[in-house]
Amino acid sequence: MISGKNYIGNELIAQGSKTYNTINPNSNTSNKTIFYEATIEEVNTAAILASKAFEVYKNISDLEKANFLKTIANELEAIKDELIDIYIEESGLPNGRANGEFGRTTSQLRAFATMLKEGSWVEAIITKTENKPDIRRMQFAIGPVAIFGASNFPFAFSTAGGDTASALAAGCPVVVKSHPLHAGTGELVSSAIIKAVQKCNMPNGVFSNLNSSGIAVGESLVKHPLIKAVGFTGSIKAGTALCKLAANREEPIPVYAEMGSINPVVILPSALKSKGAFWATQYAGSITAGTGQFCTNPGLILGIKDDTLDEFIKHLKETISSIAPSCMLHPQIKSNYEENKATLLSQEGSHAILNAVNNVPENYVLPQIITVDGAIFLENKIYQKEVFGPFSIVVKCDDKEQLTQVLSKLEGQLTGTILNDDENELNTFKNAIEALKSRVGRLIFNGVPTGVEVCAAMTHGGPFPATSNSKFTSVGLTAVQRWVRPVSYQDWPNALLPEALKNENPLQIWRTVNGEITKNVL
């Protein structure tokens, strides 16, 4: 069923000679399909097809695009069993996770379809005053975009994930650089998208999927003059490299890179006192979920030194000790985990709370937690390095001033969490909360950062280096804003205006007319 070829538009093509396999991390064996890396010519053909498709696709109505997205979801569901099988085979992630992520992916596609049917996402603004020009503005698709699949979300942040769904919703053709760890999942998901392209009569080239095992395909995509923006989820190193590549093009283009985060959690004295054991259990789960391979994994827990913090650490140790080893996505990801963990364990002032255990299966790992004093954390920036995996640091601060200081020195983060059991206490930690807010894209109260709702109000983003552009989110409906730009029409004849801007408001959308938000006709 899986060919190992690239989808260049609707066609399966493999002209190249560079091949690779995926592996099954659970059994530590190679999977059998041979994948053909896209050649530079195939990259070029995909970009040209995407650019031609754009001339048609950008003018397709929101209703038709909505139907296209729903059809993709349906086609995915039609091959769900095969998709779940290959997902597990290539990722080593358990069945429950595979199913959960699958559901997230199809509901994400349908959420963007609903947004399109409602129609107000184009942000229509009309200024019409006497004796002045009539100005009307809305958002339009920017052109073909390149989307990089993520290692840790073969469904939800890859081929048909949030980046692709939001770009297709905006009206932008998508060229996916498939993630090498799950090339088979990528091809199978692509086959569902291509079926939807054909069923809905979408232009050939509106979607392509390029196999890639190194950096050449991604680089040539980002440098391709017909590609107008990039979506990426992955490491800080790769993300910043792509940003620089894009910034140094003859025509610079935006790269929306979601790169990494250690997601600080502040456990306030009231929560330690009355709910320490509860939060220890919750966080043992959050730190180890998906073998810690989440962008929102809580890698940093901050508290103020006292007996209740020690109790919390003891509970955390006990709960995590009982968690069985679990599989990582790839031997390389495991070895990075072990290496980064060892680096932090070897720092001065670092104390591991769990004993090292040998004899875990190949590609399996155990979680680890270290503790460190606030003063030492402040002095040593290495403690802010993300350890991708089931790992977290508990920082023991001397007092609330030191806590605030630690928070204000943090790099940009996707999330920040406050755990509290007494609202009066919050006022006394105002500075700490304010410092946390200035470093994050999402603030969570009495919860865990893992689990990112797909909804209109979500921000899955944050200051650098959590992302390359803190103004945007890669999860939730406003993710579509990355792929559009505004055009204003001045004194344009009503008959020639796009539907969203016509006097009669035929789409019945919300528009800002002279400062009032209304669905009224003009």
Choose, by CB under 8 A, the member of 225, 455, 504, 508 that binds a second copy. Answer: 455
Closer by beta carbon to a second copy, 28 or else 469: 469
Interatomic CA distance for residues 35 and 217, integer angstroms: 14
Closer by beta carbon to a second copy, 343 or else 446: 446
Q: Nearest-5° angle of CA 45, CA 48, CA 54?
A: 140
Among residues 37, 258, 386, 411, the one annotated as catalytic is 258
Whether residue 118 lies in the annotated active site: no
Interatomic CA distance for residues 514 and 492, integer angstroms: 17
- Determine if 520 is a binding residue for a second copy (CB under 8 A): no
Closer by beta carbon to a second copy, 137 or else 330: 137
Closer by beta carbon to a second copy, 252 or else 361: 252
Interatomic CA distance for residues 356 and 162, integer angstroms: 38
- Determine if 130 is a binding residue for a second copy (CB under 8 A): no
Choose, by CB under 8 A, the member of 100, 273, 380, 492 that binds a second copy. Answer: 492
Whether residue 348 lies in the annotated active site: no
Choose, by CB under 8 A, the member of 314, 323, 510, 522 that binds a second copy. Answer: 510
Distances (CA, A) of 203 to 65, 69, 167, 197: 12, 14, 15, 7
Closer by beta carbon to a second copy, 84 or else 241: 241
Distances (CA, A) of 31 to 55, 149, 215, 302, 360: 39, 19, 22, 42, 22
- Determine if 278 is a binding residue for a second copy (CB under 8 A): no
Choose, by CB under 8 A, the member of 470, 499, 503, 522 that binds a second copy. Answer: 470
- Determine if 493 is a binding residue for a second copy (CB under 8 A): yes
At its nearest, how many Å lie between a second copy and the CB of residue 244?
Answer: 6
Which is nearest to 393 in space by CA: 434, 354, 448, 429? 354
At its nearest, how many Å lie between a second copy and the CB of residue 384?
Answer: 13
At its nearest, how many Å lie between a second copy and the CB of residue 212?
Answer: 24
Helix (H, G, I), strand (E, B) or coil at 2: coil
Choose, by CB under 8 A, the member of 453, 504, 506, 508 that binds a second copy. Answer: 453
Residues in the chain: 522
Hunting for tokens 């696709």 — which residue is that?
A: 57
Which residues have a Cβ under 8 Å from the Cβ of 130 and sit 6 or more positions away?
none
Closer by beta carbon to a second copy, 136 or else 502: 136
Count of residues of this chain found to bind a second copy when the rule CB under 8 A is applied? 67
Choose, by CB under 8 A, the member of 409, 471, 508, 521 that binds a second copy. Answer: 471
Which residues have a Cβ under 8 Å from the Cβ of 355 and sit 6 or more positions away?
none
Choose, by CB under 8 A, the member of 338, 489, 499, 503 that binds a second copy. Answer: 489
Task: Name which of residues 357 to 396 contact a second copy (CB under 8 A).
Answer: none
Closer by beta carbon to a second copy, 80 or else 464: 464
At its nearest, how many Å lie between a second copy and the CB of residue 27?
Answer: 37
SS (H, E, C) 383-413: HHCCCCCCEEEEEEECCHHHHHHHHHCCCCE
- Choices 64-72, 87-95, 267-275, 441-449; region in contact with a second copy by CB under 8 A: 441-449
- Determine if 247 is a binding residue for a second copy (CB under 8 A): yes
Q: Indicate the pairing of strand 29-30 with strand 23-24.
A: antiparallel
Closer by beta carbon to a second copy, 170 or else 183: 170
Neighbours of 30 (CB within 10 A): 12
- Determine if 132 is a binding residue for a second copy (CB under 8 A): yes
- Determine if 188 is a binding residue for a second copy (CB under 8 A): no
At its nearest, how many Å lie between a second copy and the CB of residue 498?
Answer: 10
Interatomic CA distance for residues 86 and 79, integer angstroms: 11
Distances (CA, A) of 346 to 203, 350, 373: 56, 7, 15
Task: Name which of residues 409 to 438 contact a second copy (CB under 8 A).
Answer: 423, 426, 433, 437
Interatomic CA distance for residues 121 and 169, integer angstroms: 10
For the record, the structure tokens of 329 come out as: 């996505």
Among residues 172, 295, 327, 397, the one annotated as catalytic is 295
At its nearest, how many Å lie between a second copy and the CB of residue 377?
Answer: 20
- φ/ψ of 3, rounded to 5, equals -90, -25
Which residues have a Cβ under 8 Å from the Cβ of 35 and sit 6 or more positions away?
4, 19, 20, 21, 22, 180, 183, 184, 187, 211, 213
Handedness of CA 30, 35, 38, 39 (dihedral sign): positive
Choose, by CB under 8 A, the member of 198, 343, 428, 446 that binds a second copy. Answer: 446
Q: What residues are labeled active site?
A: 258, 295
Binding site for a second copy (CB under 8 A): 118, 120, 125-127, 129, 132-133, 135-137, 140, 142, 240, 243-244, 247-248, 251-252, 254, 423, 426, 433, 437, 440-447, 453, 455-459, 461, 463-465, 468-471, 473, 478, 481, 484-493, 495-496, 510, 512, 514-515, 517
